Chain A
Amino acid sequence: MSEIFKGKAMTDNPAVIRTIKGRGVPVKGNDIDTDRIIPARYLRCVTFEGLGAEVFKDERYNDDGSEKKHPFNEPKYAGASILVVNRNFGCGSSREHAPQALMRFGIKAIIGESFAEIFAGNCISMGIPVFTADEPSVAAIQGLVEAHPDSVLTLDIDSETCSGPGDQVQLSINSSAKAALLGGTWNTLDELLMNEDQIETVYSRLPYISGFS
């Protein structure tokens, strides 16, 4: 790990994220794409505010506005902040509106069997840890949450674990994401802005920028 990283992790950076504590909500099914998480019609917006109300809209409501059966509608999961999903969650569009809608609904971390890459990257850049675990472990957490919706789970980023009322479950998190969350550098802009000179060096060495002249 680079020096910069070590240095940052030591300080009292409010952006450092080490643990997430909260109740869980399972949303089962594979290949849940971003169009399902936030239908495209809600992308017609110039701010992300208000997207929380539209999350999973077509899965949660019928055309006439009446509620469908969906974990996000169930009172027993109200206030839950840890989403537990299955395989290839967040596939499809690069829209950050999808994790934004989840975050604004109250989701602070996600555990799943696997995630689409752009979705996972978007989550990290918003400070939402994305953990993976094998199928039986995810099923165990989903089962636990269903049976005990009131129990609080603790997700620890450094040890990559989920602890709750049952056995501790081993999770895994991408190493860059881990470094960014623990180092408080998940909001990448400040880090990128620091290297202005090097950016300009690359700019001047690329032959196409001067039109090959």
Chain B
Amino acid sequence: MGKNLFTKVWDQHRVTALSETRDQLFIGLHLVHEVTSPQAFQALRERNLPVKYPNLTLATADHIVPTQDQLLRPFKDDLAEQMMVAIEENTRDFGIQFFGLDSDSQGIVHIIGPENGATQPGLTIACGDSHTSTHGAFGALAFGIGTSQVRDVLATQTLAFERLKVRKIQVSGERGSRVAAKDIILRIIAELGVMGGIGYAYEFAGPVIESLSMEERMTICNMSIEGGARAGYVNPDQTTFDYLEGRPFVPKDQAFEKAKEYWRSIASDPDAEFDDIYELDITGMGPMVTWGITPGQSVEMGKNLPRLEDLEEKDREITTKAYEHMGFREGQPLEGEKIDVAFIGSCTNGRLSDFRAAADVVKGRRVASHVKALAVPGSRKVKTQAEAEGLDTIFKDAGFEWREAGCSMCLAMNPDKLTGRQLSASSSNRNFIGRQGSAHGRTLLMSPAMVAAAAIEGAVTDVRNL
């Protein structure tokens, strides 16, 4: 039997066995941001330790940066300012490359890695952020870690880690019109459950996945963690190589040829073994929208919300809680629910193709008058490219606010927040209670095109009917 990518890359990076179940794993790229790193740098200072390999470490600032008047310092929020100063000092003192506010490469950590070519196949990647799984789109093993582990990676470039099992998720079938990568991953999470991936890395494979662009693959891998899987990946192929060629951190000429050879060699063998295989046929599937308080609570457009009596006993409690929080009724359709806020952005859907898909819907139309609509590029590079294509004008003409790069309304750490019970159509990845900044706020996760349609209609709408 052949080996899967996970096994190959893991073995290549294994430093030693720490116990029967835990390995010391070398990390090829450590991505750092301002929220989960200050306490880790502090721990290094207390022990007088340097960063082991600053050359394998890359930092940015994304969560707390305002998306308006971004360059105005100090920030209005003192706490945010303190965190910004901390990452500026820490990266300077420890000699780490930092895409700060003076860099045209600043942006969300899971966007800047790939777009600069720092994210490559065959790497192990760690970052103090659960959506690190995004980088798996390139055939890297990418894990979210906690702050103690950020400290460990800074000081040793390694992690104490347990090997994961691997589940191959084979996606086939005919992809319907306007069915986005977001819809596919929401469907997978709905099928396997938010805990389905615990203990696993997901290998996304099959004809549908192979046909996806790199940006779409990133959307899929990004949300692996919402299905409980700590890592998700796609085997590298020509699409991957074409995306990477010419990006700043990617080797050139002869070295690029050698890199490709290596990247091909770490892909799963045709006869690779897996701990589990799950098959999904997406023929006939429409756009998906979450209606509850976990990313697993979603509904396909055209279908009605679940009835408690139709659910398994174990799902009833969280479903009841979701109905209480969201104020929806069992069995109702979601279409027509009036929204207050539309948000396009985040590390799930804040890339150029996402803004293109949304602009395609928005073009020549107007945002409903009661809706506050935000389009927030995931990085400065995305912003520049979108502006070069005139997408900013399309959004602004329609009544969207076109903002500066950052995490924005994906989570409540910067000025972009929901208030009260606002209902938000959001292209982000989490609909947990309070996630978007109001304890009573309500989030509907969907694809960028679906957010655009909701913004225009002022209510949840099947983008295929627009």
A contact residues, range: 35 or more
* Complex CA distance for A116 and B155, rounded to whole angstroms: 26
Q: Flag A141-152 by CB within 8 Å of B: 1 or 0 each.
A: 000000000000
- B332 sits at the interface (CB 8 A): no
Alpha-carbon distance A46/B132, docked complex (angstroms): 21
Chain B residues with CB under 8 A of A167? none
Surface stretch bound by A, among B274-282, B372-380, B389-397, B427-435: B427-435
Whether A202 touches B439, Cβ cut-off 8 Å, given contacts A35-B432, A44-B413, A188-B152, is no
Known contacts A45-B79, A94-B36, A94-B145; A203/B157 CB under 8 A = yes
Let me know if A96 and B147 touch, CB within 8 A: yes
B153 CB, nearest partner CB in chain A, Å: 9
State the Cβ distance, A93 to closest chain B Cβ, in Å. 5
Question: Which residues of the partner chain A approach B26 to less than 8 Å between Cβ atoms?
Answer: 199, 202-203, 206
Digit string of A189-213 for contact with B (CB within 8 Å is 1, else 0)? Answer: 1011101101101110011110111
A40 touches B152 (CB 8 A): no
Shortest beta-carbon distance, A143 to chain B, in Å?
17
A58 adjacent to chain B (CB < 8 Å): yes
Q: Which of B13, B123, B152 contacts A189 (CB 8 A)?
A: B152
CB-defined interface of A174-198 with B at 8 Å, one 1/0 digit per residue? 1110011001010111011101101
| Distance of A35 from chain B, by nearest CB (Å) | 4
The answer, yes or no, to whether A47 is at the interface (CB within 8 Å) is yes
Complex contact B230–A192 (CB within 8 A): no
Q: Which residues of A contact B (CB under 8 A)?
A: 1-2, 5, 29-31, 33, 35-36, 39-41, 43-48, 58, 63, 87-88, 91-97, 99-100, 114, 116-118, 121-122, 125-126, 174-176, 179-180, 183, 185, 187-189, 191-193, 195-196, 198-199, 201-203, 206-209, 211-213
Cβ contacts A to B, 21 pairs, < 8 Å: A33-B432, A40-B413, A43-B413, A46-B42, A47-B38, A91-B294, A93-B129, A95-B35, A114-B195, A114-B198, A121-B146, A121-B149, A122-B147, A179-B22, A189-B156, A191-B18, A191-B160, A199-B26, A206-B26, A206-B28, A207-B258
- 19 A-B pairs besides A31-B293, A33-B433, A212-B255 with CB distance below 8 A are A1-B19, A30-B317, A39-B412, A39-B439, A41-B412, A46-B83, A47-B39, A93-B129, A94-B146, A118-B144, A121-B145, A122-B146, A175-B21, A189-B43, A192-B160, A207-B258, A208-B28, A211-B255, A212-B258
